[in-house]
Amino acid sequence: MDTNVVEEEAVAIRGYELRLIRCTLNSEQPQQVCALQKRDSLDDSIKHLLNLIQCGSYIQALTSKPSFHLVFRLAALDSPPLSDPDHLYPLLVDRAECFITAAASDAVEQRRRGMLVTCIAVAAFLGFTQANFTGPLKGAELPRCPLRLDGDDEERDNWARNELISAGSDLVGKFSNLQYIVFAKMLLIRVKDLGVEMKSLWWWLARVLVVQQRVLNERCSSLSDLLHLYMGEALQTFGCREQVESYWQDDLHDGESSDIVSVIHLEAGIIEYVYGRVDSCRMHFKSAEMAAGLQLSLTGVLGFRTEHQVEPKAQMVLVTNTGSSNNVDENCPLTNTGIQTCDSNKGEDDWNLNQHEASEASPVLRIPKLLENNDENGGHVTATLTATQQAVILAFCILIEIKISPHRDELQLWEMAPYIEAIDSQNFFYFTIRCLSDFLRIRWESSDSRPRTQQRALLMMDNLVKHIYEPSPAIADRIAFSYAVYMPSIPELKKKYGSLLKECHLIGEAAKEFEELELWYNLIECYSSMGKKAEAVELIKKRLLETPNDPSLWCSLGDITENDACFEKALEVSNNRSYTAKRSMAKSAYKRGDYYTSIILWDSAIAMNSMDSEGWFGLGKAALKAPETGKALDAFTRVIQLDPENENAWNNIACLQTMKKRGKEAFITLKEALKFKQNSLHLWERYSLVAVEIGNISQALEGVQTMLDISNNKKVDSELLERITGEVEKRVLASVGGRSRETEQLLVLLGKVLQQIVKYGSGFESDIWGLYAKWHKMNGDLMMSSEALLKQVRSLQGSDTWKDQDRFKKFAKSSLDLCQVYMDMFSSSSGSSKQLSTAELHLKNAQSCFSDTQEFRDLQACYDEVKIKLQSNSINA
């Protein structure tokens, strides 16, 4: 074949790839969808499928003549075994492979055939996205089998679910049409394995796998590794404008290359966000911002946040600097530097999610009314954003969420406000972008302390869920940007709705939502809060009679009844693929003290999914009890790699290192831990203890000081302070030729801590007064030392002292210390017999019980010594 002809056909096939990508970037409709004729070419078949996909007719594409007859040969006499999904789908994929390899001698024809199979796979994948992410769900229901084959759909759905959870996690909730995504994944991987030259294939594979990860409850290591590979390959081709323009050349619209680059970086950033890789996520979002021609910054503008506000106050708003980018759309003109300045009711007529009654539920405006903002020439400036730029702005809300601590507060969540309000101010938006903007607003407003704002969040969530089900807008309009923004799945959306209902004390309504989603753990919590836990058990048992092959049901029943037989049944029905069942069995073995069995079960579970920090922590606990300290240390180390904020794992590592006499390593470990958990009292306490053990007293005092500051002077560890004071005292006594500068600094630090406790603390033990007295004595102030000891003695006095031997021993020791100070004061140049008389009187009253103890004898001896000193002083006088 002529070289020019080959190149022309290769360009045409790349054009098909571009059309397929465009289906997820805009809602552009084909001019006409014609029925295929009997003698149409393969190119006509591809175009026909592309037209159907662009229209959102995914099931028609899957069951069209090219798919049904040409690729899968389903009209032939050798029909596949419909009853066994373990053989049905692999056979269909094998037939697709035969269809492609039949043209192995002609590279262009093979690519064309690979393109046709890719279109079928993408149609199945978009069908799954419609059913579980974008909707509509009313009037657009898809058949359970993507090819409308007869047979047992229940069995095929169970097979698809087991294929998905084999990655190492259960599903987030109840998803429909699971066969679609599994079938799409199998077809795309087979096309990739055959080496068909299509650069966009890597992008579609990454999309399928990230959606699979998002329907699962835990991060999965196997998916993470594949996503790193597939998205890396996609970025090699579509990561910058020059590469995109080189690949698709004249087929691109004006500015389309910038949109494609921005979108692929958004999707790459979402992948990094899903796996908790913050720096990489930020890098990709910044690249998307640059490609979209945006420069975002925040500023303050005077305005009104509530209806009844009289005086304007500073409002945080988003400044969008839009450069001279090529991605200008005729429908979305861009202006230069602009601030979102719009009326609070703008856009409500265009979008029924923001119904007027939802806005009226709270006096807080959806968008603040800002005072006129004029540019240098006196004109009113407002920025209109393209869909890609809107998606970039919403991506930065994810970065804000990453920055917020797990114990998020209302003020931190308000940082999202200017980004969300920037989207609300727009007249042009796609369905998915609008939905995500409202969902983020709901999450932010539901954390507000004002009841009416919380009520508005609940009403908005109700509207959002309803709108997902409604038939308008059309399917193709909804799919645009569905992978470029982190829109929650429909089950996740409804789960959040159930949680909001529960927070508003609508427990019955929440229970209905959780039951519909098959979120059994949440359902059990609802029933337990209503005192109906037994009813939850009966409900699960009843559902098991209907669907006995659901492993999540068996695991829920096993957890609530604490019956290991249920977990074993879950493994059986899932073909040994249920990670949750293995994890629950490992926990059960740990509870009954069978630590070695627990280790074996945790190892088996982690082999399925090595990204579950909870699994590694469970393994570490079991190994610690076994004891297998080396295995425990390795496990806890993996925990902090996956979850750096897990303070218990950090603490356990430090304990293990301390047990192995590796105090300095334990100290370094805790120092690293405090970078992530600066307000953890538990970690600061361990940090101080380890610091004392390695002789780093100044760091130990720093830890004690920090604990006091964090707890508002309520957290006082007297034993730790006693050890620290003892170490400082040793250094003072060892300073024969004069105290060193370090010793003086330690004395000052110790004094600051003790004075802070004595002055601002409340409810601290009597021991603190003894330590305070010791500190004064080290400083040579015997008078203040005696006053502190007197307060300690008084705090220990009482009727209980003469009944409780342990309390009496403390009292006796304090009394001895006090009288010793009195005698020291008498021996000093400024002393007088008054101190001795006070000591005599006190010791005389202290000798009233527990005469058989050593402390009593010590008091008696001291009393005798004081009497001798008094007599000697009297004779001298």
596-643 tens-digit pLDDT: 999 999 999 999 889 889 999 999 999 999 888 899 999 999 999 888
Please state the domain count of the chain. Answer: 3
> CA end-to-end span of the chain, whole Å?
130
Bigger pLDDT: 239 vs 428: 239
Paired residues of 21 in beta bridges = none
What was the pLDDT predicted at 792? 86
Residue 668 carries which side chain, given as an amino acid letter? Answer: I
Residue 64 carries which side chain, given as an amino acid letter? Answer: S
Is residue 702 located within the same domain as residue 807?
no
Is residue 187 located within the same domain as residue 128?
yes
What was the pLDDT predicted at 326? 42
Give the list of residues 6+ apart from residue 852 with CB closer than 8 angstroms, or none. none
Indicate the residue among 764, 795, 830 that finishes a domain. 764
Is residue 799 located within the same domain as residue 695?
no
- Give domain status of residue 636, yes or no: no
805-813, long-range: CB < 8 A, 24+ apart: 805/850, 805/853, 808/849, 808/850, 808/853, 808/855, 809/853, 809/855, 810/766, 811/846, 812/846, 812/853, 812/855, 812/856, 812/858, 812/859, 813/855
Is residue 97 located within the same domain as residue 181?
yes
Q: Which of 408, 431, 433, 411 is nearest to 422 (CA)?
A: 433
Is residue 697 located within the same domain as residue 832?
no
- Give domain status of residue 94, yes or no: yes
Indicate the residue among 764, 796, 813 that finishes a domain. 764
How far apart CA 54 and CA 46 sit, in angstroms, is 12
Is residue 841 located within the same domain as residue 806?
yes
pTM score: 0.81
pLDDT band at 767 (very low <50, low <70, confident <90, very high): confident
- Give domain status of residue 168, yes or no: no
- Give domain status of residue 487, yes or no: no
- Give domain status of residue 667, yes or no: yes
How far apart CA 513 and CA 491 sit, in angstroms, is 10
For 358-386, what is the mean pLDDT?
Answer: 60
Is residue 726 located within the same domain as residue 796?
no
What was the pLDDT predicted at 353? 45
Is residue 190 located within the same domain as residue 95?
yes
Query: pLDDT tens-digit profile of 81-122?
Result: 677 888 999 999 999 999 999 988 888 999 999 999 999 999
> CATH number, domain at 722?
1.25.40.10
The torsion region of residue 484 among left (phi > 0), alpha (psi -120 to 50) and beta comes to alpha
Q: How far is CA 326 from CA 27, 339, 531, in A?
A: 20, 21, 62
Is residue 718 located within the same domain as residue 832?
no
Give the list of residues 6+ apart from residue 155 with CB closer than 8 angstroms, or none. 83, 85
- Give domain status of residue 185, yes or no: yes
For 8, the domain range is 1-26+33-144+174-198
Indicate the residue among 764, 793, 824 that finishes a domain. 764
What was the pLDDT predicted at 94? 94
How far apart CA 832 and CA 119 sit, in angstroms, is 103
Is residue 703 located within the same domain as residue 794?
no
Is residue 707 located within the same domain as residue 829?
no
What's the order of all strands across the beta sheet hosting 313-322? 338-339, 313-322, 294-306, 364-370
Query: pLDDT tens-digit profile of 820-847?
Result: 888 888 887 665 778 888 888 888 777 6
- Give domain status of residue 721, yes or no: yes
- Give domain status of residue 212, yes or no: no
| Residue 85, preceding peptide bond in cis (omega within 30° of 0) | no
Q: Which of 220, 121, 221, 216 is nearest to 175 (CA)?
A: 216
- Phi, psi at 305, each rounded to 5°: -100, -25
Is residue 16 located within the same domain as residue 77?
yes
